[in-house]
Structure 1
Amino acid sequence: MSFLKAEWRKLIMANYEVQPEILQKYVPKGTEIDTFEGKCYVSLVGFMFMNTRLLGIKVPFHINFEEVNLRFYVKRKVEGGVKRGVVFIKEIVPKRMLTFVANVFYNEHYQTLPMKHSWNIDTNKMDISYEWKVNNKWEKVSVEAETKSQKIEENSQTEFIAEHYWGYSKMNDNKTTEYEVKHPTWEYYPVTKHEIQVDFEANYGTDFGFLNNKKPSSVLLLEGSEVSVENKVVFKN
Structure 2
Amino acid sequence: MSFLKAEWRKLIMANYEVQPEILQKYLPKGTEIDIFEGKCYVSLVGFMFLKTRLLGIKVPFHINFEEVNLRFYVKRKVEDEIKRGVVFIKEIVPKPALTFVANVFYNEHYQTLPMKHFWNIDKEKIEVSYEWKVNNKWNKVSVEAETKPQKIAKKSQIEFIAEHYWGYSKINAQKATEYEVKHPTWQYYPVTTHQILVDFQANYGADFGFLNNKQPSSVLLLEGSEVSVENKVIF
Q: Residue deviations 1:30-75, cap 9 Å, x none?
A: 0000010010000000000000000000000000000000000000
Query: What is the rounded CA distance, in whole Å, between the counterparts of 2:183 and 2:124 in structure 1?
Result: 28
Query: What is the rounded CA distance, in whole Å, between the counterparts of 1:55 and 1:25 in structure 2?
Result: 32
Aligned to 1:204: 204
Query: What is the rounded CA distance, in whole Å, between the counterparts of 1:78 and 1:107 in structure 2?
Result: 21
Aligned to 1:143: 143
- Deviation of 1:132 after TM superposition, in Å, equals 0.2
Gaps of 5+ in 2: none
Aligned to 2:62: 62
Letter in 1 for 2:157: Q
What are the residue-to-residue correspondences of 1:113-128 with 2, within 5 Å?
Answer: 113-128=113-128
Q: CA RMSD in A?
A: 0.3
Aligned to 1:186: 186
Query: What is the rounded CA distance, in whole Å, between the counterparts of 1:147 and 1:51 in structure 2?
Result: 23
Query: What is the rounded CA distance, in whole Å, between the counterparts of 1:124 and 1:162 in structure 2?
Result: 25
Query: What is the rounded CA distance, in whole Å, between the counterparts of 1:17 and 1:81 in structure 2?
Result: 27
Aligned to 2:171: 171
Letter in 1 for 2:125: K
- Per the alignment, in what secondary structure is the counterpart of residue 37 of structure 2? coil
Aligned to 1:80: 80
Query: What is the rounded CA distance, in whole Å, between the counterparts of 2:146 and 2:57 in structure 1?
Result: 35
- Deviation of 1:80 after TM superposition, in Å, equals 1.8
Query: What is the rounded CA distance, in whole Å, between the counterparts of 2:130 and 2:192 in structure 1?
Result: 17
Aligned to 1:12: 12
Query: What is the rounded CA distance, in whole Å, between the counterparts of 1:42 and 1:54 in structure 2?
Result: 28
Q: Residue deviations 1:54-106, cap 9 Å, x none?
A: 00000000000000000000000111220000000000000000000000000
Query: What is the rounded CA distance, in whole Å, between the counterparts of 2:121 and 2:181 in structure 1?
Result: 28
Aligned to 1:24: 24
- Per the alignment, in what secondary structure is the counterpart of residue 104 of structure 2? helix
Letter in 1 for 2:124: N
- Per the alignment, in what secondary structure is the counterpart of residue 24 of structure 1? helix
Count of aligned pairs between the two proteins: 235
TM score, norm. by length of structure 1? 0.99
- Deviation of 1:124 after TM superposition, in Å, equals 1.2
Aligned to 1:219: 219
Aligned to 1:93: 93
Q: Residue deviations 1:138-172, cap 9 Å, x none?
A: 00000000010000000000000000000000000
Letter in 2 for 1:160: F
1:49 aligns with 2:49: yes
Query: What is the rounded CA distance, in whole Å, between the counterparts of 1:215 and 1:81 in structure 2?
Result: 35
- Per the alignment, in what secondary structure is the counterpart of residue 153 of structure 1? coil
Aligned to 2:103: 103
Q: Residue deviations 1:173-213, cap 9 Å, x none?
A: 00000000000000000000000000000000000000000
Query: What is the rounded CA distance, in whole Å, between the counterparts of 2:228 and 2:128 in structure 1?
Result: 24
TM score, norm. by length of structure 2? 1.00
- Deviation of 1:221 after TM superposition, in Å, equals 0.1
Gaps of 5+ in 1: none
Q: State the percentage of identical aligned residues.
A: 86
Query: What is the rounded CA distance, in whole Å, between the counterparts of 2:35 and 2:48 in structure 1?
Result: 27
Letter in 1 for 2:151: K
Query: What is the rounded CA distance, in whole Å, between the counterparts of 1:232 and 1:221 in structure 2?
Result: 28
Letter in 1 for 2:187: E
